[in-house]
Homo-oligomer: A and B are copies of this chain.
C-alpha cells in the first residue's frame, strides 16, 4: 500500500527557489519573490493538486480573496506604491500561486504587467531580511 498522501501540499521547487517564506496565513503560504525591482508577494494556497481558481473549494476561495486583499493592503502601506497588481497565471508553474505586486509609476515595466518582464534584480541581503521581517509582522497581524 502506498504511503504517498495525495492530498499533501508540496511547494513547487521553482517557486521555492525564486522566493523566501514570509509566514503561513490561514490558507496560503506567503512568500517574497526574489526581485528587488518590485516588492512582490506570492500567496500559495496550501492545497494539493490545485491549478485554477475554480479548482479550489468555495470556502477556500473566500479565504484566499481576503488574504489577497490583506496582502495588498499591507504591501501598499509598507511601500507607499502607486498601485497593487494581482495576478494568477500558472503558464509555467501550474501550482496555483497568486502574485501581489507593488507597482510604481517609475518602475521598469509600468504600466505593463511586471510578471515575466525583463530579468529580476537580486535584493541586497540585509534589505531583503529587513523587508521580510516587516512583512511578517504586518501580515501576521492583518
Residues of A whose CB lies within 8 Å of any CB of B are 51-54, 56, 58, 61-62, 64-66, 68-70, 72-73, 76, 82-92, 94, 103, 110-113, 115-117
Q: State the Cβ distance, A53 to closest chain B Cβ, in Å.
A: 5
The smallest beta-carbon distance between A84 and chain B, in angstroms, is 6
Q: Do A88 and B86 touch (CB < 8 A)?
A: yes
A61 to B56, CA, bound (A): 16
In chain B, what residue has the closest Cβ to A73? B54
- Option from B65, B76, B82, B110 in Cβ contact (under 8 Å) with A61: B65
Contacts of A76 in B (CB 8 A): 52, 54
Chain A facing B: main interface SS: mixed
The distance from the CB of A117 to the nearest CB of chain B, in whole angstroms, is: 8
Query: Closest Cβ of chain B: how far from A76's Cβ, in Å?
Result: 7
A86 to B68, CA, bound (A): 13
Contact of A86 among B53, B83, B113 (CB under 8 A): B53
Q: Which residue among A51, A53, A58, A111 has the maximum number of chain B CB atoms within 10 Å of its CB?
A: A53
CB pair B52 A58 closer than 8 Å: no
| Cα A52 to Cα B84 with chains together (Å) | 7
A91 — which chain B residues lie within 8 A by C-beta? Answer: 82-83, 85, 103, 110-112
Q: Chain B's nearest CB lies how many Å from the CB of A132?
A: 22
Cα of A51 to Cα of B72 in the assembled complex, Å: 12
B89 lies within 8 A of A69 (CB): no
